[in-house]
Structure 1
């Protein structure tokens, strides 16, 4: 008997045993691709006597399922009663020799790589080996009865659910970033990013303390003005040109004393000016996709981006103009990301400054909606409530850099 105390040691042991064995029986809660034992087993599937893999919480990679689903000796546990949670790797070696790894690691890249794991290697040479062998094979036989093959249709349904759940699972692991990229940590752990743990009181006090270039009453006037325009008209294209320019951050309103250039001035974006003046239908279709209330998903955001980009088929379209419109339509969810706050926002959220459309959602918006200050109930005091209703957009007041103005 031997204690394996690191994921790398477990990985190397499993790879060796898969390579040496005549046959194997495996029962694990979750599995993924991207490990040497996986690759060895995938390429030598004739060695599989029985393999049972769970799918609870959508932790098993669909690509792993696809790699083995046609094998008659591979089944998957798809029931939702309880949690299928064993981690048992049994190998028949030469003659009557056998070995079994039992412990904490799943057959995943994390379990065999980045995680802290421990397992025990049991062999036929250990005391009590005959009794252990009977218990191991009995347990795997029991697991086999719980499982069943998976069809192409079932795999596709699982894959779709897995894609929907993956961003959530990634956030639960304390990671933010592109859902399909498990290697992307997108910077610091959440507890090392102060903006994520800032209280509402701290956030609101910092908003109120902005003095150099903007005022809180002036910012609230912008929010109220754009909100009124969206409330009055069913579609963005129904708003008159002046109103669209206000929402787009292209003009101020000196007569009314409201500076719509706050929360991101887009005066220098020539092609954006033209699209707004021409009332480009793609801009309207894009912003109309964003609901006025309720939860906004990544898929809805990406649909907005796809339609927004159609307004600029021949020219450069930037994250600043796209997020200016978003911040005015839903200031509770979005902040205008432009040259004046880019440095501060990236430093605050612990991310690099290479922010494109997907990174904006995966590394900025995901962090915003996980932040302590964002998740507090709506305050009752008038001014505080108004800021809360536009709390994401008000990040601009914390990180705006007016140097050079």
Structure 2
């Protein structure tokens, strides 16, 4: 009998057990394609006697399920009372020759790599092992009877819900995207836990009447998008205002156009806006004027925008996005990126369209002040409807 708490040792023991024994009886809460171990499990698939896996919280990966479609030896617990949470791995050649690994370890990549896990390895030669062996067999047998095998339709239905739950799981884990930045617990990021009252109080403190100037920009932009169904239907000066370019728009407050990002240095972008480029208008059409904005909407915008402006014109793109949906986008540019990334614990270098959504937008969407706005005046309601864009007032560095 021995305690295993080192992931490398645990992986090595697992490999030994799969090689050494002829029968596998497992009951585990979650499973995914663990590097190396999953390939070996598939290789030794004929050794599976009974394998029961939970799918609670949609933590079990569809690729694991895919491998065992219509396999009667592999069953999945769908809706248990409470949570199906055992981690039992019984390897045997006979009732007199077996080893049991039990503890906290699920059959997942994280459990065999970065998680801190502890498992106890027991074999038939240990004291009191007979009772443990019989109890384990009883548990595996009873849970196996409660499970079902997956078919292709069930897997497709599961994938739909699994996909929607991934962002929730990753954000709660402190993981956003695949940028390689070190994970930070959400509660350790001050800007994420900031209350609505603190948020509104801080943005009102912007010097040089910045708060009022920003309000005027948001009100003009929202009125333009309300009265012009498509971006291409705006006048040249209206388009320039939305795009953060110098303009002659004769509306009170339009002189504050450079708040939320001045894009005048981008001559190519300025030319496209002046030419009323069709692709840019179509790109903005992909972003709904109200309601939920999904990553799919954003990806469709990105595809069309990049067809018009090849290369990483992220600042220009996000200026347009932040004016159409200031509740969902912030204009990310050289004046605010460094401070924002520092505060949110985001890797600064290598920013891209993909990372903008995965590392920045998804973090902001988890913020307390964004999730729970509590406007008390008409002015604060305007801010609430543009609360993500207003982050610029906290991070802008002249």
How do 1:239-278 residues align onto structure 2 when only pairs under 5 Å count? 239-253=234-248, 255=250, 256-258=252-254, 259-278=256-275
Using the TM superposition, give the Cα deviation of residue 185 of structure 1 relative to its aligned residue in structure 2, in angstroms.
5.2
Paired residue secondary structure (1:205)? helix
What corresponds to 1:302 in structure 2?
299
Q: Are the aligned partners of 1:7 and 1:105 in contact in 2 as well (CA < 8 Å)? A: no
Using the TM superposition, give the Cα deviation of residue 363 of structure 1 relative to its aligned residue in structure 2, in angstroms.
0.8
Q: Are the aligned partners of 1:197 and 1:372 in contact in 2 as well (CA < 8 Å)? A: yes
How do 1:42-191 residues align onto structure 2 when only pairs under 5 Å count? 42-69=42-69, 71-79=71-79, 82-93=82-93, 96-178=96-178, 184=180, 187-191=183-187
Paired residue secondary structure (2:125)? coil
What corresponds to 2:319 in structure 1?
324
The equivalent position to 2:332 in structure 1, one of 316, 337, 361, is: 337
Using the TM superposition, give the Cα deviation of residue 282 of structure 1 relative to its aligned residue in structure 2, in angstroms.
2.2
The C-alpha deviation readout for 1:63-103, integer Å capped at 9, x for no partner, is 22223336452222334654322211001147821111122
What corresponds to 2:206 in structure 1?
210
Q: Are the aligned partners of 1:69 and 1:75 in contact in 2 as well (CA < 8 Å)? A: no
Q: Are the aligned partners of 1:195 and 1:349 in contact in 2 as well (CA < 8 Å)? A: yes
What corresponds to 1:380 in structure 2?
376
The C-alpha deviation readout for 1:325-348, integer Å capped at 9, x for no partner, is 111011112110111112112112
Q: Is the alpha carbon distance of 1:387 and 1:346 closer, same or farther for their aligned partners in structure 2, counting shifts above 3 Å?
A: same
The equivalent position to 2:228 in structure 1, one of 209, 222, 233, is: 233
Unaligned 5+ segments in structure 1 are: none
Q: Are the aligned partners of 2:289 and 2:324 in contact in 1 as well (CA < 8 Å)? A: yes
Q: Is the alpha carbon distance of 1:96 and 1:33 closer, same or farther for their aligned partners in structure 2, counting shifts above 3 Å?
A: same
Q: Are the aligned partners of 1:187 and 1:351 in contact in 2 as well (CA < 8 Å)? A: no
Q: Are the aligned partners of 2:21 and 2:91 in contact in 1 as well (CA < 8 Å)? A: yes
The equivalent position to 2:283 in structure 1, one of 281, 286, 292, is: 286
Paired residue secondary structure (2:334)? coil
Paired residue secondary structure (2:191)? helix
Paired residue secondary structure (1:394)? helix
Q: C-alpha separation between the residues in 2 aligned to 1:241 and 1:153?
A: 52
Q: C-alpha separation between the residues in 2 aligned to 1:274 and 1:44?
A: 62
Q: Is the alpha carbon distance of 1:186 and 1:3 closer, same or farther for their aligned partners in structure 2, counting shifts above 3 Å?
A: closer
Q: Are the aligned partners of 1:186 and 1:363 in contact in 2 as well (CA < 8 Å)? A: no
Paired residue secondary structure (1:92)? strand
Taking only aligned residues, the RMSD between alpha carbons, in angstroms, comes to 2.3
Q: How many residues align?
A: 395
Q: Is the alpha carbon distance of 1:263 and 1:51 closer, same or farther for their aligned partners in structure 2, counting shifts above 3 Å?
A: same
TM-score by length of 1: 0.89
2:357 matches 1:357: no
Q: C-alpha separation between the residues in 2 aligned to 1:27 and 1:328?
A: 52
The C-alpha deviation readout for 1:101-141, integer Å capped at 9, x for no partner, is 12221111122232222222222123333332222112212
Q: C-alpha separation between the residues in 1 aligned to 2:243 and 2:133?
A: 71
Using the TM superposition, give the Cα deviation of residue 159 of structure 1 relative to its aligned residue in structure 2, in angstroms.
2.6
2:367 matches 1:371: yes
Q: Is the alpha carbon distance of 1:348 and 1:382 closer, same or farther for their aligned partners in structure 2, counting shifts above 3 Å?
A: same
Q: Is the alpha carbon distance of 1:376 and 1:164 closer, same or farther for their aligned partners in structure 2, counting shifts above 3 Å?
A: closer
Q: Is the alpha carbon distance of 1:254 and 1:130 closer, same or farther for their aligned partners in structure 2, counting shifts above 3 Å?
A: closer
2:197 matches 1:201: yes
Paired residue secondary structure (2:156)? helix
**Which one is further off, 25-34 or 272-281?**
272-281
Q: Is the alpha carbon distance of 1:247 and 1:329 closer, same or farther for their aligned partners in structure 2, counting shifts above 3 Å?
A: same
Using the TM superposition, give the Cα deviation of residue 291 of structure 1 relative to its aligned residue in structure 2, in angstroms.
2.1
Unaligned 5+ segments in structure 2 are: none
Using the TM superposition, give the Cα deviation of residue 248 of structure 1 relative to its aligned residue in structure 2, in angstroms.
0.9
